Structure 1
Amino acid sequence: RMRSVLALVLSLALSGALLAMNYALFRARSGTTSSGAERKVTVTTKRVVRNAPPATPPVPTTNAAPFHWRALESEDYTVYAANLRAVGCPERTLRDILLPDIEKLYDERAKKLEESPEDTFWETADQRDARQRQRDAKLRALELEKRALIQRLLGAEMSFKALKELRWDGDASDSYELILGFTDTAKTDQLLMVFQLRNADAEAHLAVTEGILLDEDITQLHALRDRLENDLARLLAPHEMEELRLRVVVLEGQNHLSRRSGVNVSGAELREIARLRADTRDVFAKMMLIDDELYSEELRAKGDAAFQELLRRYVGPERFADVERGKDGLFRELFQSTEKLGVAKAALVQAYEARRAAESQAQQIRADQKLSAEERLLLLAALRAQTTQALARSLGPVGFDAYLEEHGKQLTNSLSMPVTRQRLEEQRTDVITVK
């Protein structure tokens, strides 16, 4: 019984101690000390917040239709051009797409206008001419309509035919490259299109006049010539404009100023000669092939004479004679066939003079109506023998043989009577009979 009482006392004591400890801990947490001083405790906690990634949009279950260029096409060219630009089509590509398409459309419309009625036997010549003039006027209106459409769509005058000709691999394309080679490709296209359009304008106007030019026609052609110059000047700097003039002159009529023609000129000299020619001729009218219509024969002759005098002063009398000989095909034949054989210049000039004199005499013999056919044949045979001897003496055996090898047939034909069709048939019959 004493043990039970003792156990009870110990249990109560332990319970009291535990209560006291809990009370003390409670006071410490509430900031109360045994001395009565207050203390504030701040507890800071940090929490890392991570943004959730955006939700991935749901993938459509159906596949989109593939892109096709046909989706951009439209019968309305304004809409078609807008569609192409909307997908970032470059302007050059846009041009290459639209121009052929427009050209094809208007070609088909032009062909319908050019179709003749099935039976017009009852028409007089005047009626047919009047109908043709009406058709030409409609074709011209169609051409202007096409140009206006291109101008509206592409913002500039353009010509599919000009671009096609420039890109065509032929002699004309090579000439354009030589004339316009100092510019970049884009500017070359623009220059050629301007040139082609103004040429087409001049041709259309001349067609309307039917060869009878009135004062107002001359005025209109002058205006077209001035428009060409102004259009080119807007595209080219002044020094480029001068370069164009000189190149046109050189290619147009100065090809004899070369070593192959027996004329030695430097690049600087050729450029100066071209400038002299450009200053004595309307280059832009010549480019449009309307210089004969704009200027009388007398004015053109004065310009030619002025150039010849300026050229003679520039190169001197001796070299001027070389230039004049270089224009003659007879001299070029002699020079080119003996160029590498060491024939002296004096001997070559002597042979040329003999050859030219013989050509002139042969023309006189053929034209002399007082001579009979037999007399002409005899005189021409004697002239051939005389000329052959003169050429052999001047050129020497080697040079003469080289000349005959290349041009012997031309020499004989030029100093003979022309072969008529009847005589040619007789010669063929003779050959057949011999066989």
Structure 2
Amino acid sequence: MRGRVLLWISLSLNLAMAAVWVYFPRVGTDSYDALAVMPPTANPGKVYKTNVVVRRQNFTWNEIESRDYPAYIANLRAIGCPEATIRDIIVAEVNQLFARRRATEVVTAEQQWWRSEPNPDVTQAASDKLNSLEEERRALLTTLLGPQWESSYYPYPEHPNTLPLDGPALGSLPPETKQAVRDIEGRAAERRQAYLDAVQKGGKQPDPVELARLRQQTRAELGEVLNPEQLEEYLLRYSGSATALRSELHGINLTPDQFRALFRQTDALDQQLHLLAGATDAASLAQRREWEKQRSDALQQALGPDVYKQYSLLQDPLYRDVQAAAEQSGAPADKILPLYEINRATEQEKQTVRNDATLTAEQKAQKLETVQTAQQNALRNLLGEEMYQRFLQQNTKP
């Protein structure tokens, strides 16, 4: 009985505590809600300040810039950019675009490094393409900005005193790489000029070996900013070895692959030969002969027997003179070799007469006249009278 009473008392107390727990949180919440919505007491004489600052939404340049030039201009105007500044920005962007197009779309004679002489058709086509791009650039800027853009400065060519860096391999170089190449060229020119000034001041002649070392230093620096393909393209165009090779091959039409293969085989040998310039000791002379033989073998292998024969002929000044005279007089190409053989035989006979100690001066003069008459008759028979007369006017050694 007593236990049942205690149970009811305990149950009653628990119910009372639960009621209190439920009641008081509700009252508190209502009170705080009431305080939260109650407006402050108005005081007309007091000025209230807040720390709220309204800021314009931030933007990045990527949100303004656009490859769509009209949209680009609209974005610039939307942020309040002055019209003069818009003009300068758009002109600079368009100029940069067309600079890239000139560097990659125009095929110049310098890019055809395998030719011993520039192709006039390529030169004309490059000029036409440049004019076309310039007209396109002007038309685009006029459409975008109106005629007032004409007052803007447009440097073309951008670097008139430097070697062109254009074409498939060099035209797509990033601007910073092109600038690095130009910096290297500038330092190379300064080093060379400083050396030449120093030797001139000392009353000496430039040392070919030292000049070769300076060229090697420039190559090494270029190799640090250009990859192998780009460096080879640069050397094929502008190196002294490639220039000399083109001069050697004057009159021989090679394909790009043939010239490239020949350059690869001879360039390293040429550099080594330059470092032996002026050497007189037996070991250096023997080494020089060995490298010259390797170079000759490389030429013969790369050119083939027929072209190598033509190459060998071109190394003879007499053949080059005959070739030039024949071309200028309009003689057919198949007449050049017979003309050369006639002139070479004539020169040999004349030299024999001059060296004959048994002949008097008068006898030598008579024999030389006979040799020359025989030469003229042979040339007439080969060319015909009209072409012979034209050839005679051009040939400095009849």
Output the TM-score relative to the length of structure 2: 0.47
Computing the radius of gyration from Cα coordinates, the structure with the larger value is: 1
Q: Which has the higher contact order (CA 8 A, sep 6+)?
A: 2
